[in-house]
Structure 1
Amino acid sequence: MSRPILFTLFYLAVFLQAGAYGLTFMLPRLFDAFGANEKVVGVMLFVTTISTLIAVYYSGHLADRFGRLRTLGGACFAIAVALAFYGMAQGVGVLLISASILLGAGWGLTYALPPVVLTRLISAQDRVRYFAILSVAVMTGFGLSPVLASILEDAGLTIADAFYITAALCALAGLIFFTLTTPIRQLSAAKGPEARSNLSLSAIANIMRSPARLPVIMVCLGASVFAGMNNFQTVFADERGLAYADYFLTYTITVVLFRVALARFKGGRNPYGTIAALQYIMCGSVVLFLFSGANVPLYLLVAFLFGIGYGVSYPILAAMAANDANEDLLPQTLQFFALTYFIGIFGFPLIAGWLIVEAGSATLLIVSAVLAGIEATMAFNRSVGKRPSLADLRQ
């Protein structure tokens, strides 16, 4: 198998399974069908968080035992079962809890391991480029799945049907990952046996003593902002009489276009300065959303700016985590980066759901804007202080 075909299939599999996360944005709508509110959504996503964190922590152990690609394939099948369970659920019970556990375990593995696989196939100089393409595949998948759900609703079908269709796509992704096991081993740029991937408490302690601790902390804050804006976007849209599909389509197109452009950009001479500028844009988009009301052009502008701010800064931040890591802890650093990301992505909705029910959606947006401002300021302080080595990031 040639390298172009290998990368095409790898990114296709990532794209197909990424739709599963996008459907979590539809959970408020799905749960509303059986009378559950945003608090229940938050609780189920909290269950998903616990499962995700456990899966990410042990992802290296599983990869060492079964192989990274086989672990990815099995994770996709777990996600497929989870989505089918969500579609079948008629109330809060065992089926819904099982779906949340399986989704968390599967998504944790499929998010943590692909960057580790890529580090075996590419050089350090190409990390921003290939991480950007990876993030394009992820973003396209979970950005378009809410649009698919909207199209199905307009056609007279249900949100549950979107879950069934995406389950089938995730199963296909699992098959692709299984077929890539041997080609990836043969075409690996890194020679010799794979480094051990298992994450441990001592490894986490070493990571937190390294420069990589900053992107590890920042990604948790950014993921919380992302969850606050996107997981309850259907709620915001319904309150204001807007179409949530417009937001997701605009956001997705923006992220894809700018991340494709980023594939030729290596971070600049001050990547943390770039990250800071982008994340201040993200903060501004949340503030604008607070005051935009039912204005459709402003709604689309919010999606556009959030797509630039969060969507473009994320792959640069992921590359910084890899470049700031101790080389002997690179797989563990990327897994821990994913771990803190999921704390924000799946953990923050528990707080967000409570805020919406008890204090209103505006309060959630204010909290999200504050978190975005903190993250941007952390990047700014790093950019004007001691800078990381840029040997691998020269333009």
Structure 2
Amino acid sequence: MRLSSAFFAFVGTLLAAGGYGATFLLSMRFRSLGGTDLDTGVALVEAMLGTFVGLPLVGWFAPRIGAARMTALAALCIGLGVTGFALMTQVSLLNAAPGFLVGFGWGAFSLAGPMSLAERTNDADRGFWFQRFGTIQMAGIAGIPALAGFAIHSLHWTLGGVLYVIAALCVVAALMLETFGRISPRAPTLPVQERWLRDIGTIARTRAAYPIVMVALCACVFSGLMTFQMSLVQGTGSQASTFFSIYTITVVAARWLFTQFVIRIRREVATKVLLAVMVLGIVAMFAVPYHAMFHPASAVLLGTGYGLVYPIIQTQTVNDSETMYRQAALTWFVVSYFIGTFGFPAVGGWVLVHMGKEALIALIAVCGLAALMLAIMRDRRRAESFSGA
């Protein structure tokens, strides 16, 4: 794949990911309309339902119209959802529709994006392009909300105006991704039968079940700290936009600088160390009210731990599966991720409203520790299988 065509794919990915990042502004949006973080959680549950509809449709439409065009259509759906949130004038049941559209679009994009790259790269170069794709995607997810926070606090833009701009960027993303599909023809691929729902029993009996559950728990940590960041720092003197900015810079820098080092060491060791770093990032949030420096420290620790461990446990999902079940395992990996990303805020919002910030951070910490315990259990199961052999 040429750099000239990759430019369109990566810019489109950056902007589309920013559309998903707009969900981190929903807590502020609902509170400005007289709602609470419970309403934020409900909207993101609808987003989770949207992902469950979008994911299987990718498997049906992508072979027919191309994965690149699917990413363009997905970006448009994200933009429509963000527009819906911008148009809200009061909290009502109709707020579920924008959440569904964002979830539908982001779920479809998360599968179709890597597929569009896979159609245009060979086995030798695919790892390079996937690493860059993941880095750009993460930069958009947290970078756009950081810029939005700057526009609101420093340039005095309205939140509704910021959401309209993000929605417009999603339209630009759709145009860029459609252009990418047109100027970079895909290689012919063999049709693949979608059997991932029926394969869950087989996958659950393998070690691939551990990273699949781990990614859901890690996504709970990520979504909990990002979605409710504005509520968590309220009254502390810290700014959520600072957290988003430092997190984005840390993830991009860590993936560019340390990925090769992480690859060279044992994945089992790297997983446990990075999950422990992620947990330390959660612990740092407890101390934010006592000293402002714990806030950027939390962002750096979360960006390093979560930012680097995600591709590792994704690789473990593939390596722990038999060849014929790898596509199904990866699909369940994505489903599990979205259960944590969009499902946790519903629980987290209730905890935040009824039990307070400390209880929410404690719940997030439990999710992080559970992921670490599963990593340890996975390694013990491997050791037992070797000793049995």
* TM-score, normalised via structure 2 length: 0.91
**Alignment check: 8 A CA contact 1:241 1:294 kept:** no
Distance apart, 1:54 and its partner CA? 2.1
- 2:315 corresponding residue in structure 1: 319
- CA 99–177 in structure 1, closer or farther in 2 if over 3 Å, else same: same
Worse-matched range after superposition: 264-273 or 72-81: 264-273
Identity of aligned residues (%): 28
Structure 1: which amino acid aligns with 2:169?
A: L
RMSD: 2.2
- 1:286 corresponding residue in structure 2: 282
Deviations for 1:121-147, whole angstroms, at most 9, x for unmatched residues?
445566654433222111110111222
Question: Segments of 4+ in structure 1 off by > 6 A?
Answer: none
**Structure 2 CA distance for aligned equivalents of residues 21 and 364 of structure 1:** 22
For the residue of structure 1 that corresponds to 2:234, the secondary structure is helix
Unaligned runs of 5+ in 2: 384-389
Worse-matched range after superposition: 3-12 or 44-53: 3-12
For the residue of structure 1 that corresponds to 2:263, the secondary structure is coil
Distance apart, 1:344 and its partner CA? 0.2
Structure 1: which amino acid aligns with 2:219?
A: A
State which of 336, 340, 344 in structure 1 corresponds to 2:340.
344
- CA 94–361 in structure 1, closer or farther in 2 if over 3 Å, else same: closer
Worse-matched range after superposition: 247-256 or 290-299: 290-299
**Alignment check: 8 A CA contact 1:221 1:372 kept:** yes
Distance apart, 1:23 and its partner CA? 1.3
**Structure 1 CA distance for aligned equivalents of residues 332 and 122 of structure 2:** 21
State which of 214, 220, 223 in structure 2 corresponds to 1:218.
214
**Structure 1 CA distance for aligned equivalents of residues 348 and 123 of structure 2:** 37
Deviations for 1:288-317, whole angstroms, at most 9, x for unmatched residues?
211332422111111111111111111222
Worse-matched range after superposition: 149-158 or 86-95: 86-95
- 2:245 corresponding residue in structure 1: 249
For the residue of structure 1 that corresponds to 2:22, the secondary structure is helix
**Structure 1 CA distance for aligned equivalents of residues 264 and 243 of structure 2:** 30
Structure 2: which amino acid aligns with 1:93?
A: S
- 1:175 corresponding residue in structure 2: 175
For the residue of structure 2 that corresponds to 1:240, the secondary structure is coil
Deviations for 1:134-186, whole angstroms, at most 9, x for unmatched residues?
22111110111222222221212111112111111111111222223355544
Worse-matched range after superposition: 261-270 or 153-162: 261-270
**Structure 2 CA distance for aligned equivalents of residues 156 and 348 of structure 1:** 31
Distance apart, 1:254 and its partner CA? 0.5
Correspondences of 1:151-170 after superposition (within 5 Å): 151-153=150-152, 154-170=154-170
**Alignment check: 8 A CA contact 2:276 2:305 kept:** yes
- CA 325–15 in structure 1, closer or farther in 2 if over 3 Å, else same: farther
Correspondences of 1:1-395 after superposition (within 5 Å): 3-93=2-92, 95-122=94-121, 129-153=128-152, 154-186=154-186, 188=187, 192-196=188-192, 198-265=194-261, 267-383=263-379, 385-386=381-382
* TM-score, normalised via structure 1 length: 0.89
Structure 2: which amino acid aligns with 1:207?
A: I
- 1:393 corresponding residue in structure 2: none
Structure 2: which amino acid aligns with 1:15?
A: L
- CA 319–127 in structure 1, closer or farther in 2 if over 3 Å, else same: farther
**Structure 1 CA distance for aligned equivalents of residues 246 and 196 of structure 2:** 40
Worse-matched range after superposition: 25-34 or 7-16: 7-16
**Structure 1 CA distance for aligned equivalents of residues 381 and 270 of structure 2:** 14
- CA 67–121 in structure 1, closer or farther in 2 if over 3 Å, else same: closer
Structure 1: which amino acid aligns with 2:287?
A: F
**Alignment check: 8 A CA contact 2:262 2:270 kept:** no
- CA 197–76 in structure 1, closer or farther in 2 if over 3 Å, else same: farther
Deviations for 1:358-386, whole angstroms, at most 9, x for unmatched residues?
11111111111111111122223334552
**Structure 1 CA distance for aligned equivalents of residues 149 and 193 of structure 2:** 40
Distance apart, 1:91 and its partner CA? 1.2
For the residue of structure 2 that corresponds to 1:180, the secondary structure is helix
Structure 1: which amino acid aligns with 2:313?
A: L
Deviations for 1:242-283, whole angstroms, at most 9, x for unmatched residues?
111111111111011001124545623521221111011111
Worse-matched range after superposition: 314-323 or 162-171: 314-323
